[in-house]
Amino acid sequence: MLDNLFAKNFIIAFILVAFLEAASFLAHQFTWLNIILFGLICAVTAVLSIRRLEYGLYILLAELFIGSKGQLFFLEIDDNRFSIRMGLFTVIFLIWLFNLGRGKSLEFFKSKWLGYYLALFIFIALGIINGLLNSQFSNLFFDANGWLYFLILPVFFAAIFNQQVIKNIFTILLASVFWLSVKTIAVAFLFSHQVSQLGGIFYHWLRDSGVGEITFITDNFYRVFFQAHLYVMFGLLFALAWLILRKNSKKERIILIFMSVLSSAAILISSSRSFWLGLLAGLLMLFLLLFFKYKYSLKKILKPGALIVLIGLVEITLLSAAFKGFGDSLLGNRFELSQEASSVSRLQQLKPLSEEIFKKPILGSGFGQQVTYVSNDPRIRAEFPDGRYTTSAFEWGYLDIWLKIGLLGLLAYLILIVKIARESLKAGLLGEILFIALTALVITHTFSPYLNHPLGIGFILLSTALVYFLNHEQRPA
């Protein structure tokens, strides 16, 4: 199904996502250009989606894979931003509604997945109602709007209808991963080597667009973190699993190894412990599949295991040489959990968050519910000297969900995830890779919330539609 993933379409997709980010950089310098490009992208998406709904899905996913917070382009409305992610969502959703009115695009409503998602939607709706009753509308909206991404699910079912669409989606994913990896390494190199000409304007764009964060760690090493590194992690797991579990041509093997090196370097540079834990969980699941499903002996498992360890050791050595202080950052302060400000702040959320959860444990307190805790984050201390910080966004992903939609809502979500996992294991090699990536996402979400964010929700929707098609058509990869 996914033969020749790195052919002409891969190159085209890579060029387009690179061009999209370059255009975003320029658009953030000129308000008029931002408005024009926002309107142009939405208009092109509308025209293409009317012609073929899957074309709209490709654009939606490309933005999701690289866009982090979704604000590569935006419209300023009453001091609030209407992001390009919202724009694409609205355009494609309305076109799907039009098709639905004509009796088309009904695949999701005919599937066995309807009941699982309806159960979750009920608790999301209750969370919104509770939020309306107990929280300010602004807090409710900014807390709940990410969950609305679930509404685009029927588009995935309608657009993913043949193997070529699946191949195109993974081509876009791998091209996006390749671009994000190259960009991460390049940004880290430029900042760590003090290319001051890029400092102000480039840093401002990264922060203003929500693409990522650049943080000084130690010596000359800067942490480069993108929320979209989630998909770099998925791409890395895909490349390794594809390399190990499938017979590839010599050219494909070279490209897969090169992509593994680039993407793993990006994950290391991100200095995200959540991604590191998620990646380790995904790799563990890969080896469990090799042992239990593919009946690899311990001796046979050593070969891919040695390859992965070798890649890691070589990268750490090279990155330590290229970035002064990288080794200390990686092996030192990122594991000093008792002293590192973000780790202490995360731990300090636990008690007040748990106390608030157990006030309404079954149905939750609703979206927009705020909790006050004491933070050691220097940025928060700069604004609030005593460190007392009130927010409705928490790094403990599952506790955040429990607080907003209750234990029953959290269970409904977990049951859905278990269902996706079970179905993915029936869907051949591609399904198994989705299962590995899903494992990584579930672990990552423990400490960095993604299952309540469009980035994680988008992967849940994509996985559901893919395993539905693969199992429905009975054509595993």
Domain assignment present for residue 468? The answer is yes
pLDDT at 306: 87
**Residue 198 in this model has a pLDDT that exceeds 60:** no
Q: How far apart are CA 171 and CA 154, in angstroms?
A: 22
pLDDT at 382: 74
Greatest mean pLDDT among 179-188, 245-254, 290-299: 179-188
1-18 average pLDDT score: 90
**Residue 278 in this model has a pLDDT that exceeds 80:** yes
Token pair 């990122």: residue? 334
Q: Which of 229, 317, 239 is closest to 267 using CA atoms?
A: 229
Task: Specify whether 201 is located in the same domain as 313.
Answer: yes
261-288 average pLDDT score: 93
- Give the domain-ending residue among 310, 335, 360: 335
3-state secondary structure of 82: strand
Domain assignment present for residue 48? The answer is no
Domain assignment present for residue 266? The answer is yes
- The pTM is what? 0.94
Task: Specify whether 265 is located in the same domain as 203.
Answer: yes
pLDDT at 302: 87
Residue type, 198: L
Mean pLDDT taken over the chain: 89
Task: Specify whether 311 is located in the same domain as 210.
Answer: yes
- Give the domain-ending residue among 317, 335, 353: 335
Q: Which of 448, 247, 218 is closest to 333 using CA atoms?
A: 218
Task: Specify whether 330 is located in the same domain as 346.
Answer: no
> Tokens in use for 121?
């939607």
**Residue 327 in this model has a pLDDT that exceeds 90:** no
Task: Specify whether 312 is located in the same domain as 190.
Answer: yes
**Residue 314 in this model has a pLDDT that exceeds 80:** no
Q: What is the dihedral of CA 181, 183, 184, 187, to 10 degrees?
A: 160
Domain assignment present for residue 123? The answer is yes
Domain assignment present for residue 12? The answer is no
Task: Specify whether 327 is located in the same domain as 218.
Answer: yes
| Burial of 382: CB neighbours in 10 Å, binned 0-12, 13-18, 19+ | exposed
pLDDT at 228: 96
Task: Specify whether 327 is located in the same domain as 405.
Answer: no
270 with 225: CB under 8 angstroms? yes
Q: What is the pLDDT of residues 55-76, one digit of tens each?
A: 999 999 999 999 999 999 999 8
Phi and psi of 30, rounded to 5°? -135, 115
Domain assignment present for residue 104? The answer is no
Task: Specify whether 271 is located in the same domain as 375.
Answer: no
Task: Specify whether 457 is located in the same domain as 373.
Answer: yes
**Residue 336 in this model has a pLDDT that exceeds 60:** no
Cα 65 off chain centre by: 7
Give me the number of domains the chain comprises: 2
Q: What is the pLDDT of residues 82-120, one digit of tens each?
A: 999 999 999 999 999 999 988 888 899 999 999 999 999
- Give the domain-ending residue among 335, 351, 380: 335
- Residue 474 confidence class, pLDDT cut points 50, 70, 90: low
pLDDT at 78: 79
50-54 average pLDDT score: 95
pLDDT at 225: 93
130 or 476: which carries more pLDDT confidence?
Answer: 130
pLDDT at 348: 86
Task: Specify whether 154 is located in the same domain as 211.
Answer: no
User: Domain span at residue 288?
Assistant: 185-335
Task: Specify whether 190 is located in the same domain as 327.
Answer: yes
pLDDT at 475: 47
Greatest mean pLDDT among 32-46, 182-196, 318-332, 375-389: 32-46
**Residue 218 in this model has a pLDDT that exceeds 80:** no
Domain assignment present for residue 197? The answer is yes
281-291 average pLDDT score: 94
pLDDT at 5: 84
Give the contacts of 450 (CB within 8 A, at least 6 positions apart).
230, 397, 441, 444, 456
33-41 average pLDDT score: 96
Task: Specify whether 217 is located in the same domain as 145.
Answer: no
Q: How far apart are CA 333 and CA 312, in angstroms?
A: 19
pLDDT at 338: 47
- Residue 396 confidence class, pLDDT cut points 50, 70, 90: very high
**Residue 318 in this model has a pLDDT that exceeds 90:** no
189-212 average pLDDT score: 77
190 or 130: which carries more pLDDT confidence?
Answer: 130
**Residue 440 in this model has a pLDDT that exceeds 90:** yes
Domain assignment present for residue 80? The answer is no
**Residue 223 in this model has a pLDDT that exceeds 90:** no
**Residue 231 in this model has a pLDDT that exceeds 60:** yes
| Percent above pLDDT 70 for the chain | 93
Residue type, 453: H
Q: How far apart are CA 214 and CA 223, in angstroms?
A: 6
